[in-house]
Structure 1
Amino acid sequence: MPTHCFDLLLDRKLPAANAASLPAVIGAVGSDGFLRRETVNTLLQLAGFETDDVKFFDGEECKWIDVHDELATLSLFEADAMRVVVVKAADGLIKSSRDAIEKWSSTAAPGSLLILQIQTLASNTKLYKAINSKGCLLTCAVPTSSPRSKTPSIGELKRWLRAWAEREHGLKLTASQATTIVDAVGIDCGLIHQELAKLALYAEDSGKISDEAISKHVGSWRTRTMWDIADAIADGRIADALQQLNQVFSAGEPPAAVVPQVSWSLRRYATAANLILQSKRTGRSMSAASAIGKSGFWGGDIQKAEKRLRRMGLRRASKLQPWLLQLDLQTKGSHSSPSRAVFAVEALCLKLV
């Protein structure tokens, strides 16, 4: 059973009794690059490994034979020393040498430790099962509300945020302040970490910080603009949305980085609409407020979301999922340039008017 990285980062406990008893293969798997890096760094720190003790490889460039030799070759001077290898961006290495890594995961050499930073690894693959059985899997993404759900648990994210703020930045945040930060920044833990570091500059010696300071300083203008663009689209303010989108592109942000952030916000309306429509089909009526509350909205956004959902209409809002998927594919392909991406977003806006 995979262990979530929050357990390691917050509890500061190894997934084993000590460094010597760590499994030979550990996979830090998840979509959040910041959590993958912090998890591996914390793991090495808790195990007592110095930087000089670890050999780092780039999975997009290295070959398995070099990684294997590093793991299998005993040191001439310290025969009992643990041989530790970390492969960053290991998806590339897995793609080219999956069979060899699967075999190593099942029959790793004693005294070796291979740590793989992996963005995606399907649970039905042999490699996943081998690491899960013989090694250790650490989930490096925001927890979901249930094992089968894909919706991030905002409650768990805010729990981590408050604990991380105090441990790493000396900030003592209230629950409402954590909500404000997540509301402004989103669910990107790396961005949250950067914002906490910035807020620490304005905190009192006790670690407390005022609500006004958080509202004033949290979020870069780009972060806030992403939310503003999504809100403008949901409100039907097409000209406003496109103007802000052009400003972001002019600042050098690529469409492939901008659109997913806007889509995440809009996708919540589709979730809410589908929940309401499903409840009507099954004869169990669900209020708009209840559906919105289960779709990732929080704080003052709940009332605004209900009004926006009413403006869009349930049928149109329920189609946002495939429309946003189409937009994502376009901005990664035929509409990858900023000028063409604006046309793709405009087409989406017109569908919601």
Structure 2
Amino acid sequence: MTVQAITFTMTTISVYLFCYCFLYFSCTFAEGRYKRQAINVTELDVTIVKSIDKEARKQLMFLIADRLNDTVSTQSDLAGNCQSKLNGTIDGCSTCKADLCTNIEIPSLSEAVLSKISVGNYRPITYAGEVLKEIAQWAVGAKDFLGDRLGPFLNNIGDDLLEVAKVLIKGGKYIASPAADAFKSLGRTIGNAGREIIQAISGDVTNVIGDIKGLIGKPFEDFENALKTVRQTISEKAPVVLNTIKDAVLPVWERTLGKLFRRKRCVSSCPSCNKLDIKKNTISQIIDSVCGSDTTKQKKEAMAEITFLKDLYNKTKDNEQITKIEYDLSTAEPDSPNQVYMDSFFTIGGKQMQLMAGVLNISSPDETGMSIAQQFFATEIANRQSSTTV
């Protein structure tokens, strides 16, 4: 064997030995690190976990209500733009029908039909309002759970309900007014109750709050009655049916011009009327035809998100969410042993998640609960959005 061959062989052996040793020590180090972490990981006392869970669930209620309000704001612009297009199509149908010169059947646009189309356009907003109303009704009887956050919570919910009313009022004459009136009345009452509680609280929450249901009165019952009126107004059996559109919505100036000139332009069909034919099209199809498929898609997405938020609210109010909190003892601050900055995990809804933001402050359940709630809610929203776009 030549010197070169011997040298090459020894070099190869050295490389293999180096790689083996490196891998061995790397695995040993990783195994030791894993064991060290396993030894230092400890589970937080169940009593403290329950306190953190309660604060997290309170914060989740605020986040759910805020998200519903964001949906109302977004849908307000969308519904407003769509309603302008619907109104333009309604006016176009009115004008076209007056100029129709052939004896063909044109769908009659009764006030009941126009209202049904418009209410369908604003449905995500009223749905969000109904969920907010349900949450408000729960909060009224949850003073022991919400404690000193009851006042701010009712105040926020009241403002959210008033926002729903404002959006419906902007919707125009084809939105049944009892719905807007119901949201306005309930929003004012709930908001006022919240502000009264905020001003009164000093010390013992339970004694200061007293009978919240008595303070609020009967707006919830009035709300239900108003919504029943709305449903009756837009039902197929609504008593007001207008057979001739010109007597109902055709502008006076158009009829006057017709009389002055004793003639009109002659058309053989009315496509705008066909778009609004509720006997041939569903509400979604009408909105899709007039406002565009993207509008219909966004409304469906909003309805799905509101349902998701409603389900999350129901789970949050009825069940403990955080069932376990684990943390690494070695990461505790020497001067503040109750604060852990890294390697902290919480189990919520059966899923283990690492606490990414904030500090696991064992001595401050409200701070820790809020931090966990913010992260969990953001993760749930992100997961839902990613699942709907796949």
Q: TM-score, normalised by structure 1?
A: 0.23
The normalised TM-score by structure 2 is: 0.21
**Greater relative contact order (Cα < 8 A, sep 6+):** 2
Which of these two proteins has the greater Rg computed from alpha carbons?
2
